[in-house]
Amino acid sequence: MSDAKAPRPGEVPLPFDPADADGDARIVFIGRAETPWPTRDDCPKNMRQARERGRPAAIVVDPPYRPGLRDIKAGDAIWVLTWMDEAARNLIVQAPRHRDDTFGVFALRSPARPNPLGLSRAVVTAIDAASGRVALDALDCRDGTAIVDIKPWIDTVDAPPAAAV
């Protein structure tokens, strides 16, 4: 069950908590994050803040998934998908602390959402595929956060020409 808190003024909760529903997806965690942020309150709100703090991080991939690290090298940019297990899952309209209005959950990057996936673009600073350790420039999640997936950043796909944005 998610850590649902009392809604802020203007927020709209769902009539149910998705954390309690029997879904059709079966997510497998492939490892855990190692970050300098022991609690959710310590954690930077985004990758810009994480980088500004200048604290490196790492992912430790579990043994069965380590062969999948083949061909990743230092200097590569990657997408890291995380499972934000402490996030509320029952808010569909939110009132962000840093904004003056409310917003639909799909217009925000808040971890509070029906499926609390985090998405971070990080740069690999070192890799030891045998031990499953992928050192990163930064990561914006709490220490021990579950890793759902790692995907390569591909310039021609992930960074469209400015005219197309």
- What are the pLDDT digits (tens) for 41-67? 899 999 999 999 999 999 999 999 999
More confident: 45 or 125: 125
Q: How much is the pLDDT for 154?
A: 93
Across 66-97, b (16+ Cβ under 10 Å) vs e yields beebeeeeeeeebebbbbbbebbbbbbbbbbe
1 pLDDT higher than 70: no
Domains of the chain: 26-154 (2.40.30.70)
Mean pLDDT of 8-29: 80
Mean pLDDT of 133-139: 98
2 pLDDT higher than 60: no
pTM of the full predicted structure?
0.85
Mean pLDDT of 100-123: 94
Q: What is the pLDDT of residues 66-109, one digit of tens each?
A: 999 999 999 999 999 999 999 999 999 999 888 889 999 999 99
Q: How much is the pLDDT for 5?
A: 66
Gyration radius (Cα) of the chain, Å = 17
Output the CA–CA distances (angstroms, integers) from residue 72 to 62, 127, 158, in the order listed.
16, 8, 17
